[in-house]
């Protein structure tokens, strides 16, 4: 079974540009969530989608947005990039039902974003 797949793995953008990151969850997983990891702030929750609906959002500015498609694939977008947006962006998926397996969240390898 394929894991969570994120593309692109590495990218460099200029301040003011926008970026779109893509995530394909594990087959059958309908919940997709995104996290930002930086040395200073650690791992922070961005948002979560389930059945194409955003169900939870972290404390990030409106420049950070996302969506989920009918096949559960998700994209996140960051507009008007700032230097501080340089980070590892991790996507995760979950079955989302009661029980240990349904409550476990599996991560992709991440997308490294560098803003210059």
Partner 1 sequence: AQTVTQSQPEMSVQEAETVTLSCTYDTSESDYYLFWYKQPPSRQMILVIRQEAYKQQNATENRFSVNFQKAAKSFSLKISDSQLGDAAMYFCAYRTLLNTGTASKLTFGTGTRLQVTL
Q: Does 19 bind partner 1 (CB under 8 A)?
A: no
CB of 3 to partner 1, least distance (A): 9
Considering the complex, state which of residue 11 and residue 105 has its C-beta at the smaller distance from partner 1.
105
Cα angle at 90 between 25 and 28, to 5 degrees?
A: 10
Dist. CA 64–CA 21, nearest whole Å: 11
Which long-range contacts link 50-53 to residues 24+ away (Cβ below 8 Å)? 50/96
Q: State yes or no: residue 48 binds partner 1 (CB under 8 A).
A: yes
Beta-ladder partners of 87:
113
- Per rule CB under 8 A, is residue 90 in the interface with partner 1? yes
Q: Which residue has the tokens 């200029």?
A: 14
Query: In the complex, what is the shortest distance from the CB of residue 52 to partner 1, in angstroms, rounded to a whole number?
Result: 15
Would you tell me which residues interact with partner 1 (CB under 8 A)?
31, 33, 35, 37, 42-43, 45, 48, 50, 55-56, 58, 88, 90, 92, 94, 96-98, 100, 102-110, 112
């Amino acid at each position: 079974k394929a894991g969570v797949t994120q593309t692109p793995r590495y990218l460099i953008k200029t301040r003011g540009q926008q970026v779109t990151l893509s995530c394909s969850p594990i087959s059958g997983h309908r919940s997709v969530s995104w996290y930002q990891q930086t040395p200073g702030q650690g791992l922070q929750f961005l948002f979560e989608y389930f059945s194409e609906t955003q169900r939870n959002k972290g404390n990030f500015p409106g420049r950070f947005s996302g969506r989920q498609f009918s096949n559960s694939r998700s994209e996140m977008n960051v507009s008007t990039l700032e230097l501080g947006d340089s980070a590892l962006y991790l996507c995760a998926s979950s079955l989302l039902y009661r029980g240990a397996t349904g409550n476990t969240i599996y991560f992709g390898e991440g997308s490294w974003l560098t803003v210059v």
